[in-house]
Amino acid sequence: MKSKLLDLFCKAGGAGMGYHRAGFEVVGVDKDPQPNYPFEFHQADALEYLDQHWREFDIIHASPPCQAYSRITPWSGARQNHPDLLQPTIDALDRAGKPYIVENVPGAPMKNYLMLCGTMFGLRVFRHRLFVCKPQIYMSPMTCNHHGYSRNSVRGANRDKYKNGAFITVAGHIGNFEFAKRAMGIDWMTREELVEAIPPAYTEWLGAQMMTCLTQRGADLLKAGRNLPAMNNQSIGELPA
């Protein structure tokens, strides 16, 4: 029987897809309808759903909205329109007592986090995301593989300026949607869903680590930092058209 993972604040399932690939049965929850979510879905408030259903799951992932911390959210009033659900989510997960992973953007007030980037997985996307895991996942020192790529290597909204870019940052108005989807490893989302997604490669790796903590031996190995597959400095794939 598969371990069951609750995917809170799931949107169209970038994170959920990675956990599915790691071998979990995934159930998603979002306050808005998510017709493109590829797994079982419930439209509900995430923290209310967690409060009522946490016992049904082996492990819980949460991606509370990041606009409160995102560097691209305009300062003028927009931040106040987004409730800060990060700490209430962490508090609720601590109360539930199940293994969990909480994700957010650089700048969010998180402690003891892992930072992952697309270049650690051979993806053509510069996308830093922070993950707090309980139990904690340890990894050998790892850096982004941005070497040799200047700012001009990044395709942004301005396609003319960066038309020869080998990498992309997926945010705001994506200039080249097809390139962005390939760079993220996602082919089932709209533009608006893609800009908020986590590349599935991140959560496939995290999910594989967390899977081990569901067994006693796995938990011991995890504590000792002995179960981590090498993942840094993967070669970057061919440059797509």
Residues 12-31 that bind ligand SAM (CB under 6 A): 12-15, 30-31
Helices (H) and strands (E) in the chain, counts: 7, 9
Helix segments in the chain, DSSP class H: 14-22, 46-53, 86-96, 177-184, 191-194, 200-212, 216-223
Q: Indicate the residue among 192 and 220 with the shorter CB distance to ligand SAM.
A: 192
**Number of residues located near ligand SAM, criterion CB under 6 A:** 18
Closest distance between ligand SAM and the C-beta of residue 152, in Å?
28
- Confirm or reject binding of residue 9 to ligand SAM (CB under 6 A): yes
Spatial separation of the C-alpha atoms in residues 240 and 92, rounded to whole Å? 42
Q: Indicate the residue among 58 and 84 with the shorter CB distance to ligand SAM.
A: 84
Closest distance between ligand SAM and the C-beta of residue 14, in Å?
3
Closest distance between ligand SAM and the C-beta of residue 54, in Å?
15
Binding mask 31-50 for ligand SAM (x = CB under 6 A): xx------------xx----
Strand spans (E) along the chain = 4-8, 25-30, 40-43, 59-62, 100-104, 114-116, 129-134, 154-155, 167-168
The two tokens of residue 13 are: 């399932």
The two tokens of residue 157 are: 């909204």
Considering only 21, 142, 196, 221, the residue that binds ligand SAM (CB under 6 A) is 196
Peptide bond into 135 cis (omega under 30): yes
Q: Indicate the residue among 26 and 222 with the shorter CB distance to ligand SAM.
A: 26
- Confirm or reject binding of residue 58 to ligand SAM (CB under 6 A): no
Considering only 86, 93, 197, 206, the residue that binds ligand SAM (CB under 6 A) is 197
Amino acid at 121: F
Closest distance between ligand SAM and the C-beta of residue 26, in Å?
11
The two tokens of residue 132 are: 């707090």
Amino acid at 46: A
- Confirm or reject binding of residue 65 to ligand SAM (CB under 6 A): yes
Residues that bind ligand SAM in the complex, under the rule CB under 6 A: 9-15, 30-32, 45-46, 63, 65-66, 196-198
